Chains A and B, each alone.
Chain A
Amino acid sequence: MRSLNLYRTAVGAVAALLLAACAPGGNSEAGPAPSKPVSTGVGSQPVTLRLLVNSGVDVPFYTALGELFHAKYGNVTVKVDNQDYATLTTNVAHILAGSTAPDIVRVSQLGNLIEDHLLTNLDPYAKAYGWDKWPQSQFASTRVGPDGKQRGTGSLYAVGPGFGLTGVYYNKALAQRIGMSRPPATAAEFDELLGKAKNAGLQPIMINGKDGGSVYPLQNLVMSSAAAAQAVQDWNYAKPGATINTPATVNGATVLQRWGRSGYLPADVNDIDQTRAPREFLDGNGVFFPSGNWQAPGLDKSGAGKFGFFLFPPRQAGGPSYAMTAAANLGIAAKSSHSDVAAAFLDFIQTNTQARQDTVTLGGLAPAGPADAPPPTAAAGSAVAATVGAFQELLKSNGLVGFMADATASIHVNSLIPQTQLLLAGKTTPAAYAAKVQSDYERDLRR
């Protein structure tokens, strides 16, 4: 009997599916979703705000922010779920399109999310909360134009508590051994220090090539070689006609490849992942560790005062310094039924003093927010203090550039990581590298 029913259901379902399927998809209407009136309150009804973030440091950090918010607004409970970075990046579009979409999601790449109307347009909230009066560069990377692809312009779709920032950590004791008294002033000087480290029998650079850490110095080398970042930024933002297949990229790739060949990078670089690299660096394996400010709390915890941080040096002394940055972006799911409360949470984490302090100490991120917000504190001489200082400096000098890794949803996993691995193994040439990344990029953007 049961099987008979199942059979009927099955037949019914087959029929329904056959009827529904003419061309796949096609059910989503064109044009941006209509904006509904927004409110800045959280109401008094009990609300559970569901937050989906990356595994790892995100979890205690956002849990703490959620508790702060709950302490202020008793009717709102923030529930933090997590997925590991690769899985979340891979599935975020489908999670947001699904019936169990969270209210707020950590988005690393915007990909097709805007085109497919999966995130809430935050413009009305920006106006209501006065975000439009803050320094606007902090929102550039999550503005998306009407075509759903070009970034840096158009409407706002995500904001976050703070910013990631890349640079180079150094082991102070080992740096002293190779005679480094101050951070290198030029890229050439940095190169020289690497050679000295190698000659001293030290591992010059520790880096994770398995999951893309080696792409950071590459991008820095590209920008340093060009002594400009506009081309890279345009590329990141999918500006029409932007290309990465440039002499600067070829130069940068050439230098990185030479570093690999000269033994400046670990021999098994392609097998080191982002959890092993900092551990090795902490253990003294590596004079330099190009990475981001999210590593700073961990380094300070295990070896307070032992590690310094500098921005990747410019081509010429005194020239512009650049660093990659990305907001720890949170977007509101288009399907969320608590978008007002979610927006209140987003405002809170950018403005509340304690939340901003947690952003530094728990998240390892540099908070931005309003221009007049009090800067958080960090112990002098700590790696955290160095990263916070560097961030303020770059905010002023306009030296913050997005990650090439975030240019499209899959450019990192499908092109930059494997291509950089090939480059370091000597299996591709710098010229072929630049051309291939560009062609993959165009395919991703369906150009």
Chain B
Amino acid sequence: MTESTVAQRVTRTGILLALMLFAIVPLLSMFTTALAEPGSTPRGLTWPGDPHWHNFVDAWSSANFLALFRSSILIVVGVVPATVVMATAAGYALAQLNVPFGKVIYGLLVVGLTLPFEALITPLYYDLQSMGLLGSRFAIVLPLIGLLMPFGVFWMRAHFLGIEPALTEAAKVDGATGWQTFRRIHLPLATSAWSALAVLFFLASWNQYLLPLVLVDDPSKRTVAGGLGAFQGQHGTDVVLLCAGSLLIMLPSLVIFLIFQRNFVRALMQGAVK
């Protein structure tokens, strides 16, 4: 190994480490701040001499996180299964069945991929008001199902397009009905696709901020992310408490990602290899 390649390797590793540092340092700064003395203003990144782990307990109770987590879970449970099921069904039909006007339907859905949520928030507000749902969790769940749908259908359709139609034909020869073909052959093959979708939708719902902010007044009926916005409004002063609270709300997203990160990356890779 020549000197220049060693130098190159050091440079490369150095650049990579710098980028990794960039990604992680804001979180570390939050973490050390969250452990500082309550009510104090610590400096950026300083390990406190006497870490106050109790701050997390304080943040937990003062932001009423228990109610927020419960609320977020209810919202996720309302959004994710329904959206995944509908998207799987639609994606399957658009890829494998000869849906009348399938192209038009798919085309309209693809437009939805690009629509910013803000562009819809104003009319959604009035629609939900006239449905009498404003302020309830349905006001978050129902629009979110609609807003996530384009991506879901897109994702599942891409998966089902990759399945050999010969499989369907074979099943047909065996006398299976359309439903049976789907249930016995296609659904099992789609497990990795829909489960990856479920994880993505979990993150999207859990992290949702705009919809709860606008559509639900009561912070305890929002998502945790929406609740955190209110928490920031109330405890803007106390940076220690704010950091502790923020870390608490990040934790589920982080854990879910770390658990599923392999599948995550595999889903991306698989899609790419096809």
Q: Do chains A and B touch in the complex (CB under 8 A)?
A: yes
Which residues of A are in contact with B by a Cβ distance under 8 Å?
3, 13, 17, 20, 24, 55-56, 81-87, 91, 94-95, 97-100, 273, 275-276, 279
Indicate whether B61 reaches chain A with its CB closer than 8 angstroms: no
Query: In chain B, residues 201-229, which have Cβ atoms closer than 8 Å to a Cβ of chain A?
Result: 213, 217-219
In the bound complex, do residue B130 and residue A95 qualify as a contact, i.e. CB atoms below 8 Å apart?
A: no
A155 → chain B, closest Cβ, in Å? 27
Taken together as a complex, chains A and B put the C-alpha atoms of A91 and B237 apart, in Å, by 23
In the bound complex, do residue A276 and residue B130 qualify as a contact, i.e. CB atoms below 8 Å apart?
A: no
Indicate whether B89 reaches chain A with its CB closer than 8 angstroms: yes
Indicate whether B234 reaches chain A with its CB closer than 8 angstroms: yes
Complex interface: chain B residues within 8 A of A56 (CB): 234
Taken together as a complex, chains A and B put the C-alpha atoms of A273 and B239 apart, in Å, by 13
In the bound complex, do residue B236 and residue A275 qualify as a contact, i.e. CB atoms below 8 Å apart?
A: yes
B133 nearest in chain A by CB position: A99
Knowing A83-B217, A98-B135 are in contact, say whether A17-B127 is a contact too (CB < 8 A). yes
Indicate whether B177 reaches chain A with its CB closer than 8 angstroms: no
A113 → chain B, closest Cβ, in Å? 16
The 4 A-B residue pairs with the shortest CB-CB distance, nearest first, are A84-B233, A275-B237, A55-B234, A100-B135
Knowing A17-B130, A24-B126, A279-B237 are in contact, say whether A83-B230 is a contact too (CB < 8 A). yes
B125 nearest in chain A by CB position: A94
A selection of 14 A-B contacts at a CB cut-off of 8 Å is A3-B86, A3-B89, A20-B130, A24-B126, A55-B234, A81-B218, A86-B233, A95-B217, A97-B129, A98-B135, A98-B217, A99-B129, A100-B135, A276-B237
B122 → chain A, closest Cβ, in Å? 10
In the bound complex, do residue A55 and residue B233 qualify as a contact, i.e. CB atoms below 8 Å apart?
A: yes
Taken together as a complex, chains A and B put the C-alpha atoms of A267 and B59 apart, in Å, by 32
Indicate whether B134 reaches chain A with its CB closer than 8 angstroms: yes
Taken together as a complex, chains A and B put the C-alpha atoms of A3 and B87 apart, in Å, by 11
Known: A20-B130, A98-B135. 4 other contacts (CB 8 A): A17-B130, A94-B125, A98-B134, A99-B132
Indicate whether B85 reaches chain A with its CB closer than 8 angstroms: yes
Taken together as a complex, chains A and B put the C-alpha atoms of A99 and B217 apart, in Å, by 11
Max chain B CB contacts within 10 Å: which of A3, A20, A87?
A87
In the bound complex, do residue B230 and residue A87 qualify as a contact, i.e. CB atoms below 8 Å apart?
A: yes
B187 → chain A, closest Cβ, in Å? 15
B95 → chain A, closest Cβ, in Å? 18
A82 → chain B, closest Cβ, in Å? 8
In the bound complex, do residue A100 and residue B217 qualify as a contact, i.e. CB atoms below 8 Å apart?
A: yes
A294 → chain B, closest Cβ, in Å? 15
Query: In chain B, residues 102-124, which have Cβ atoms closer than 8 Å to a Cβ of chain A?
Result: none
